[in-house]
Structure formats: structure tokens, C-alpha cells
Amino acid sequence: MSTTVAGFAVQDPSSPDSKVYAAFAYRDGTTYRFATTSGGEGAWVSRNMRSQQNKTLSSADELADVMAKTWISKRGRGYQQLLAGPVTFEVPSTLGEIDPAHLVSAISNEMPVLSATDATVSRTVLHAFSSITTAQSAATAPPSAARTHLDVDASERDGITLPNGKVMYPRQVAGHTDVAMLRHLRSTDLYVRLHGPAGGGKSTVPYGAFGDELIVMHGHGDTTVAHFVGQHVPLSDGGFEFRDGPLTRAMKEGKPFFLDEASRVPSETISVLMSVADGRGTLNIDDLPGSAPIVAADGFWMIIGYNEFGQGVRPLDDAIKRRFPIAIEVTADFTAAESSGVDPRVIKVARNLHTQNAEDQADGGLGTWVPQIADLLVAQRVLDAGLGVEVALATLVSACTIPDSIEDVREAIEAVFGFEAQALVLGGRA
């Protein structure tokens, strides 16, 4: 059993110790509680924040109102850096008050919602208790009003080990967790497309959801239909044998199929997915004339992942998008970087660029480049190799794919580290 908590964490970067403030809402028996905690950035990173208050309120509506007013108050008093939420998460069930300091480690694993408003905060709190509201009004509510909360097992909240041995951390999406949503959708014909910048972790989500069961295909500019469905291969005796491709195997075996780098596949090739994804669930193999169509077995399901920009990237066909209607953007997961041991200062540079990008776009600008988790992990590997912080930060500068953003990256690094990082350039003779 677990307790649902709604909360957010914000920071005042201009204060002497970069003070952090977090607010939480949860249910304690028949009452509702509003809890807060605060501390310097060091306390936030070490999960050693100080409890401030834990007071009782009479209703979910009152609690939602208090949380929203607190959000407005803190944002108006310099807490402009968003660290986490507003979001809901689960903690082990407990009777009575929960020490808000104990909730810091849980919310610190959640991403910030940069476009959040006080209304977003209020909705997040009310959604946290939606299952209670639904149960109480089940006799009068229409069936479609019920809202399913999809979450991972408690054992997976601290990380899911991927087939390659690395660990991924489930993330929130519309009140659910990403891997739980994918697992749930597998029983439907609602297919998912994961899009976002390179290095953002798109492939980790389906691997986290399905592990070794997942059948993966990597797209590229020379991908053919045969790469999907299979082809005849020569045998040692001079004959030929047809070998199933990954799509065919997934359909026959009833397994989830993941096409990575879908936007690099030629349009005339990716159309092979049309009849599979449009409700028919069938696949004709032209190289096996006269054979019956392959019919998808129970358990078969599809996900595609793609970049929308970059060299070699093609616009994804609208017909494919309609057949993969659930679009989820996958961006930098800074909490995963924290859990992977990336230097907090490097993560702060990335968070600051993330915030700058959101604010610039909100003002009508083009935004700025934001490091993805792959970039942060490389920087940490350089540090672990003993090459020094200058070389590690140079990898961030060199990783920037937008020339106009390089100066933004340098300024963000200087604000945290106190010096301007440069790309690596050979000098005179040693």
C-alpha cells in the first residue's frame, strides 16, 4: 500500500544559500494535510531539508487552494527556479503525519513542469485524490468519468534495471508513470510515438517497460521493407531460407515492437506499418507470394521513437502519426542524471539552460540548446577519468548542436563554475 502525495519544489537562486522550498499535499485518514520544508541548495542535494509545518485542512478543495496560493506567493518572492513538480508521486503508506523532510527524496526524482500555473497546481492536488472522489460518487458518475491511475510497482520506483545493465527511473506523464502507461496500452490498439532531441532517453522508456521481451529495430536512411519483414538468405548447401524480420517476429510471437529512429526511415518504407497499425493487424510479405497474411498474436504492440530535427531526419508522414496517436515528448531527465552520480554543478548548468529555453520560447523566442542526459553522462565520465573539470565542461560546449546557443552554454557554465569553458583546441608544441 502507498500514500499519494502532490507537491512541488522551487528555488531562489539569488538568495545567499540558493534556498529551496517544497510544499506537499496528502491525505491522512479523513483529513487533508499541507506540509512544507525548506533549506539551502546543499540541504536539497543531500536530502536534509528542514520541516516547517504540517497542518490539517478540512477538504481536498481547501488543500488545493492553499497549495495554489503558496505557489503564487513563492514565485512572487524570487523562487523562480523550478526543481520539481507540480506532480503526484507515491510513498509507502503510513498512519498519521508524514515528516515533510522524508518527502524530499521522493519529489527530487520528479521533473519540473516549466509551464505550470496556480491552476496547474490546484488540478494536480485534486487529481491526487481523484480515486477517492470517484469512489464516493460512483453511483452518479458516468462510466467514462472514472480515471485510472497507472503507476509502477513500489519496487520499481527506485529504478528499473535495463537489459544493458543500466538503470532507468520512471517518470510522470499526465498523472501516470511512463512505463506503467506503456504496459497498460499494450492491451489496446493505441500505439505510441516517443519524440524529442537526441540523447534524451527515448529508447529507455520501452526498454524499462518491457525489458528483454521488447523486439527492437533501428531505422536508417537505407532501411528497406525487407529489414522489417524479413528476406531470403543463402544456405551453405546453395539453397535459400526465408528469415523473419523483427516486425514479423514480434507479430508472430505476440511481443512489443519498437522502431527507433523512425524519422530516418524513407516514407515509402515505413508505410509497411500501415496495415499493421490501422486495426487490421495484418502483414503481407511480398517475398512469399501465395502465403497467408501474418496476423498479430495477442500481446503484439508497437512504439516508434524519433527525432524531429537533425541531419538525415525526415518529417514523419501524417498517416503514420495518425496510426500512432499517443505522442509523448521525451526530454532531459535530470533526476536520472542525479541518480547516476553526475556532479550536481553540471546538472545545475543543464537545469538553468532548461529554464532559459522554456522562458525564451514562452516569450516568443527560438529557445536555446539544452544538454540531454547522454551529454551529462559523458561529462561525468570525463570527470571520473581524472581529466579535470575544464575538459568535462568542454564536452558540453562541443555537444551543443545549435551554434547560436554556444554562448548561452558558456554563460551558464560560468555562472555555476566561475570560469568560461571552451571547446578543446590543440595549442603549441608540448
List pLDDT tens digits, range 193-232: 999 887 778 888 999 999 999 999 999 999 999 999 998 8
List pLDDT tens digits, range 256-267: 999 999 999 998
Model pTM score? 0.61
How much is the average pLDDT of 406-430?
89
How much is the average pLDDT of 110-137?
65
The pLDDT, as a whole number, for residue 209 is 94
List pLDDT tens digits, range 21-31: 999 998 877 78
Statement: residue 350 has pLDDT above 60: yes
Most distant CA atoms of the chain, gap in Å:
82
R_g of the chain, CA atoms, integer Å: 24
How much is the average pLDDT of 276-283?
82
The pLDDT, as a whole number, for residue 311 is 73
What gap in Å lies between CA 343 and CA 373, rounded to an integer? 12
Q: Is 92 helix (H, G, I), strand (E, B) or coil?
A: strand
Residues forming beta bridges with residue 24, ordered by sequence position: 7, 35
Statement: residue 140 has pLDDT above 60: no
How much is the average pLDDT of 303-312?
84
Which helix (DSSP H) or strand (DSSP E) does residue 204 occupy?
A: helix 204-210
Q: Which long-range contacts (CB under 8 A, 24 or more apart) does 227-230 make?
A: 227/269, 228/269, 228/272, 228/273, 229/272, 229/283, 229/285, 229/287, 230/285, 230/287
- With CA atoms as reference, report the closest residue to 49 among 7, 93, 96: 7
| Residues above pLDDT 90, as percent of the chain | 33
Statement: residue 128 has pLDDT above 80: no
What gap in Å lies between CA 275 and CA 281, rounded to an integer? 6
